[in-house]
Structures are given as C-alpha cells and as structure tokens.
Amino acid sequence: MRILITGGAGFIGSALIRHLIQDTEHEVLNLDKLTYAGNLESLTPVADSPRYRFVQVDIADSERVAATLAEFQPDAIMHLAAESHVDRSIDGPAAFIQTNIVGTYSLLESTRAYWLGLGTERKAAFRFHHISTDEVYGDLHGVDDLFTETTSYAPSSPYSASKAASDHLARAWQRTYGLPVLITNCSNNYGPYHFPEKLIPLMILNALAGKPLPVYGNGQQVRDWLYVEDHARALLKVVSEGQVGETYNIGGHNEQKNLDVVRSICALLEELAPQKPAGISRYEELITYVQDRPGHDLRYAIDAGKIERELGWVPEETFESGLRKTVQWYLDNLDWCRRVQDGSYQGQRLGAL
Ligand code: NAD
C-alpha cells in the first residue's frame, strides 16, 4: 500500500512510520506541519529508506494537500496530525480548534475530492483512518467500568472536546458521503521518542536532573497505558483489516494511578541510574504535589475486546516491561532529549513533493 500519514513527525506517527518502514513493504509519505511537537529526528532510523518521504504541509492547506494527494496517489490515509497536549489546550484552545476540528474537516474534504476521482477498484479499497483518544468519553467513576465503542461522548477539556468533534466529522463523512472511514480511540501512549512535556519522559528527565517531580492533586488519577509500538501494530491491523464505518478501542490492559507511575519510574532509575544528582539519596524524595489540573478526569480505562476478538490484536508489552524499555531508552538517548529541550531539533525543515 501507499500510505499517507498526517502528523508522522509526532510521537505516535513516528513510531507508526518506523514500524511501516522497518517491518513491512508499504510506502509512506509523512505529511506534517512541524509544530513544536514535530521532530524529524525521531525518524532518523528510516529517513534514508527509498520507501519513505516527507512533506511539510498543514492539513488545513487544502491546495497543498490536494496537490500532495494527486502526486502521491495514496491507497490509505492515516490521520494523526493534531494538537495533543491537554495542558496547552487549557492555556490556549484556539490552535486545538483550528487543527483538530477545522483541519480535520479540511482534510476530509480534500480526501473526499481525491477519493471521488479514483477508479472503481481503488475507490472501494481506499481507507481513511482517523486516530483519536479515549478522552472523548470523559471519565469513569465506577472502579469496574470500562469505555467501550458505544460509550457516550462526554469530553472534559478543550483538547478532548476538539477530538470528539473531529470523530463526529469523520463518522459523518462516512455516513453522509460514503468515504471509507475507520476510527480508533486509544488510551495514553508511552515509549521511546515521547516529547519531554508528557508525564513519563518529564519525570525521567526531571529525576535525572534532580528537579521536582510534579504530581497533580493527590496523584490518584487512573490511566490505562499503551506501549507506543503495540499501538503502531494495532493501527496497521485496523487500516488493513478493519471494517469500514467501525470504531475500535485500543488499550494496553495497564491501569495505573499517576502516583504509582511516578514511583515505578523512580524505582527503575534507582536500578538503572544509581548515580543520583547531588543532594538526594532516593529519587522519590523529588516527588512534589502541585495544584490539580482544572477539569481533571479521575479515571480512564478501555475495553479493547473488540479489536482483540475481531482483528486478533493483543498488546505485547506489560506496563512493567514497557516502562523498563522506556526508561532505558531515555538513558541511552539523552542527546535526543537535550536537542528537544534546547530547541535545536527545530532546525530541520525539509521535503518537497
Ligand atoms: P504529537 O503532538 O506528538 O504529534 C502531533 C503531530 O502533528 C506533530 O508532528 C505536529 O507537527 C503535527 N501537526 C500538528 N498540527 C498539524 C497540522 N495543522 N498539519 C499537519 N501536521 C500537524 O501527538 P501524538 O501523541 O503522536 O498523537 C497523535 C494522535 O494520536 C493525535 O491525533 C492524538 O489526539 C492521538 N492520541 C494520542 C495519545 C497519546 O497518548 N499520545 C492518546 C490517544 C490519542
């Protein structure tokens, strides 16, 4: 397949592209605007492959998107481009409305025009895969409840509200126009190349620097954690074998309280990086409770039974094994982290199609 990935310079998109290039024969075009979250250095392992190309384009720029589609002639589009950080959406929601809602609308329309022009066979085989979050479902209060594909939407933050809107648009383009859309909603991803503003890398890097480890509220919020490489495998399954018009939830069977995640990171660092910064005897001493995030959801947990039953996907990593790999990756790649933290990763602007 020729697959166009939007947001391929981001955390999940780059893991997906590394998987597609390293483990399959698919051809990939990465279409990314390169916001602060886009980092082409996450694609270094595959950048020289003749099956990989990059273009710097905004999904809302319909002229350039149309030209890119006409030239690349994709068999599938996997749409990951988004503003994705909840705290940033609280401080400045405008970019979230623009990219996640207006941008997705624009991309759906560009895709529909391209798809209508395909021959009968290619038109039937074409797929538009919209990638979204379990945060659209709001939060769970019962300890045994799980989000399923039919749970009502009740988003809490500007980020999750904008993603909910984009899911509705994608679904409507399938119902109204017949565009072959599939949707996935997944839980919190973690793993290598994660931008240091997110919980797990932030805690690892702060601990190594002897800085406070900020935990929101009492740290009792529960999240389900999905190893990013397990997610990449699930996405490929869905785009290749999923039923058009269906939604699949993807989760890692790894529910953890935020505070326990931070404690597990500290315990791994005691073992893997025993030489601590001056002034502390245990990494856990750095844990600092800070004022809770407004509208903070208490618990997310996913029922991933449908994708497991229907498509035969199961996560390979437990939280223990995935977290160990992640902490080790950050210890081995402090140079990548330094270049993100000092901004030098933003120097690279490449690609023309
Ligand atoms: P990310 O923030 O790491 O990457 C987003 C990418 O999109 C960046 O490369 C950025 O440059 C690009 N981008 C942003 N605006 C764009 C635009 N207007 N045009 C083109 N490119 C643009 O995000 P991520 O964590 O990799 O998430 C990818 C997708 O998965 C998002 O849609 C997100 O909502 C969803 N998701 C993420 C998680 C998670 O835990 N990270 C969980 C559930 C769902």
Domain ranges of the chain: 2-193+226-254+295-317
Question: How far out from the chain centre does Cα 113 lie?
Answer: 27
Atom of ligand 1 minimally distant from the CA of 81: 7
Q: What's domain 2-193+226-254+295-317's architecture?
A: 3-Layer(aba) Sandwich (3.40)
Could you tell me if residue 170 is left (phi over 0), alpha (psi between -120 and 50 degrees) or otherwise beta?
alpha
The closest of 13, 181, 188, 198 to 104, measured between CA atoms, is 181
- Centroid of ligand 1 to alpha carbon of 240 (angstroms): 21
In whole angstroms, what is the distance from residue 219 CA to residue 225 CA? 15
* Secondary structure (3-state) at 229: helix
Q: Cα-Cα-Cα-Cα dihedral of 239, 242, 244, 245, to 10°?
A: -110
Q: What is the pLDDT of residue 351?
A: 45
DSSP 230-260: HHHHHHHHHHHHPPTT-EEEE--S-EEEHHH
Amino acid in the structure at residue 256 = Q
The ipTM is 0.99
Which of 128, 327, 129, 331 lies closest to 227 in space, CA to CA? 327
Report pLDDT for 103. Answer: 98
pLDDT of residue 143: 67
Ligand 1 atom 17 nearest Cα: 58
- How far is Cα 325 from Cα 331, in angstroms, rounded to an integer? 10
Quickly list H helices, the chain.
11-23, 62-72, 86-91, 94-96, 104-116, 120-125, 158-177, 199-209, 228-241, 258-272, 305-311, 319-332, 334-341
pLDDT score of 352: 42
pLDDT of residue 294: 84
User: 0.90 exceeded by the pTM?
Assistant: yes
Residues with pLDDT less than 50, the chain: 351-353
Residues with CB under 6 A from ligand 1: 6-7, 9-13, 32-35, 37-38, 58-60, 80-84, 99, 103, 131-133, 163, 186, 188-189, 195
